[in-house]
A and B are shown apart, each in its own frame.
Chain A
Amino acid sequence: MDLLSILQIFDSAVRLATPLLFACLAGLFSERAGIFDIGLEGKILISAFFSAGVAVLTGSIWLGLIAGLAGSVLFSAMHGLASITFRGNQLISGVALNFLASGLTVLIGEAWFGLGGRSPGLKNAERFLPIELPFAESLSGVPIFGPIYKELISGHTLLVYVALLAVPLSWFVLYRTRFGLRLRAVGENPAAVDTAGISVIKLRYAAMLIAGILCGLAGIYLATGLGAGFGKEMSAGRGYIALAALIFAKWRPWYALGATMLFGLLEAVANRYQNIDLGGFIVPVQFMQALPYIMTVIILAGIVGAAIPPRAGGQPYVKER
């Protein structure tokens, strides 16, 4: 295997990992604040739909971006309303949102476009196109670094770079700001936060807002960056894989980057080499496709050690009994 093939696989891995990374960080903020977020899948789907749908109708990707974010934040707010204000069961609320997104996207899509829930294909002005970073072409002659820069670092859509920047930003917000400290505290011991005179409700809603924005970006990237248009159920389980990555990452931003990149890499390898010939013994494609899931089990069971969720996760906060 030459350098170019390796770079192309990594390049593909970065593209495939980006929606997972956004969704994983969304789950991270939400769960660190003590709200389980099974509804990542639904939020990805609804934002993918509104971003592509509005981009088609208005001809502008930026309006699509806003619509996608609005859809996802609205879903996040509904999850917040059910699980924070009304103290409902967070898992049930999340699952309900997934079902709602699955049905609503097809229903509205059929009403808008009459294409059975699919949106028309997006034209170039209606989607995020790859950005060629400066000097990519002129540096390509430089050994090792040139190809790495041209193939791997340059040539992604804007949202990929946003996702990569979101990782240090999340780390900074969570571990180096007062807001982050309080957010983490509210997921561990909300009563202590309340005693300190800080509103648990407000903090948790703030976390839901951030989760909504990040998850929205995942859906927008899927429909307007990676693909070109919405197709029904196009999230294809990525929200659940992001949840697995979140556990695997032990609810930490840098680990989340590593976990989602690993999932992306496994998928990229499975796409590239469907049947791997190991000197006479052929690894079948089905094994390659199952590999991400097998890896999840192995890593969770052995390598990563105990993954301890935030202590107050899943419990609505009740001030007094």
Chain B
Amino acid sequence: MTLMQKFFGAAATLALTAGAALADPAIIFDLGGKFDKSFNESGFNGAQRWAEETGGTFLEIELQSEAQREQALRRFAEAGANPIVTMGFAMSSPIEQVAPDYPDTKFATIDGWVQMDNVLSVGFAEHQGSYLVGMIAGMKTESNTVGFVGGMDIPLIRRFACGYAQGVIAVNPDATVISNMTGTTPAAWNDPVKGSELTRAQIAQGADIVYAAAGSTGLGVLQTAADEGILSIGVDSNQNHLFPGQVLTSMLKRVDVAVYELMSAGADMPTGFMGLDLSSDGVGYAMDEHNAELVSADMVAAAEAAKAAIIAGELVVHNYSDDDTCPVLNF
């Protein structure tokens, strides 16, 4: 019996040290699930690309409930994963709890904000990307009414909405922007039926283009827009292919690039803050064969001009998170 215990003990130690020596990166997906065709999936694509190019492996988990956040972080940290990349703003508070206990492990919070020595906060300039798709929507709309469907009502999503509304108003001062949020709990990322119903309500109010920034809920928005014969705008990943010819464009948030680079850096990942905006191609709008006929050359030219102006600093898009207000939209 004691001999057996020794054997098991030795085997366990070996397994632990082996795990620590490998130091695989880990990625934690948020409640929306890694195949949400949007934010989380973009992160998964980045991790997948890293694995294919380097032949490495990564640890992953899809969270099923709020209670698992801290547990998953500790499990990966104990297993020796480094760095641990987490998707979604909601991972910030658990990281604040866990990170001090594992000073040698590096954590990255995408969309989150944590100030600690071993944590990297990755932020995207969603307002800039949303501004550009807003411009395209403002030029494309025929009813002078466009809509926005957000997921959970949080400052991050309001940043999308506010940037979008500014873009619309910039090219089409008479336009009306209708903004709806799906809910106030994380379930709002996962309710396509509600997304669909909100879209119908916006169509009833005259909207002919609807921008969805709502995770899986957005799939319901895009579906209903396609059913009702209006245009939609996808988010995070390129969603143009989901309903070819009926998705005007997608606001790209290159979470995949961020995840790829963080995993490539491995244990040498920098900490602090990493901002990804138009100048670093962290955000943008998607053009491909599915929407080539919808977006005219003039619209692309206008968007490109605005993009250059924003990068040069001549045009400033108001960031909702700066002062929690939006000049052109009431929440």
CA distance A289 to B152 in the complex (A): 13
Q: Which one of A233, A236, A286 has the highest number of Cβ atoms from chain B below 10 Å of its Cβ?
A: A236
Specify which chain A residues have a CB less than 8 angstroms from the CB of B223 in the assembled complex.
121, 227-229
Given contacts A16-B197, A116-B33, A285-B181, contact A5 B191 (CB under 8 A): no
Q: Are B196 and A226 in contact (CB under 8 A)?
A: yes
Q: Are B201 and A227 in contact (CB under 8 A)?
A: no
Q: Are A227 and B33 in contact (CB under 8 A)?
A: no
Query: With an 8 A cutoff between CB atoms, is B200 at the interface?
Result: yes
Q: Are A117 and B33 in contact (CB under 8 A)?
A: yes
Specify which chain A residues have a CB less than 8 angstroms from the CB of B36 in the assembled complex.
116, 118
CA distance A8 to B206 in the complex (A): 12
Q: Are B200 and A232 in contact (CB under 8 A)?
A: no
Specify which chain A residues have a CB less than 8 angstroms from the CB of B98 in the assembled complex.
none
Count A-B pairs with CB separation below 8 Å: 77
Contact of B35 (CB < 8 Å), options: A8, A12, A116? A116
Minimum CB–CB distance for A92 against chain B, Å: 21
CA distance A253 to B331 in the complex (A): 40
Query: With an 8 A cutoff between CB atoms, is B204 at the interface?
Result: yes
Specify which chain A residues have a CB less than 8 angstroms from the CB of B181 in the assembled complex.
274, 285
Query: With an 8 A cutoff between CB atoms, is B250 at the interface?
Result: no
What sequence of 0s and 1s flags, for each residue 185-211 of chain B, a beta carbon within 8 Å of any chain A beta carbon? Answer: 001001111101110110011000000
Query: With an 8 A cutoff between CB atoms, is A199 at the interface?
Result: no
CA distance A227 to B192 in the complex (A): 7
Query: With an 8 A cutoff between CB atoms, is A245 at the interface?
Result: no
Q: Are A116 and B62 in contact (CB under 8 A)?
A: yes
Query: With an 8 A cutoff between CB atoms, is B165 at the interface?
Result: no
Closest to A271 in B: B201
Given contacts A117-B33, A272-B204, contact A231 B190 (CB under 8 A): yes
CA distance A275 to B178 in the complex (A): 11
Q: Are A227 and B180 in contact (CB under 8 A)?
A: no
CA distance A272 to B124 in the complex (A): 31
Q: Mark out the residues of chain B between 243 and 287 whose CB falls within 8 Å of any chain A CB in the assembled complex.
A: none
Given contacts A117-B33, A289-B184, contact A227 B220 (CB under 8 A): yes
For the complex of A and B, 5 pairs with smallest distance between CB atoms: A116-B33, A116-B35, A8-B204, A115-B35, A272-B201
Besides the contacts A121-B242, A227-B192, A234-B191, what 14 more A-B pairs have beta carbons closer than 8 Å?
A5-B204, A8-B204, A12-B201, A16-B197, A114-B35, A118-B35, A226-B197, A227-B193, A227-B220, A228-B220, A231-B191, A233-B190, A236-B187, A275-B331
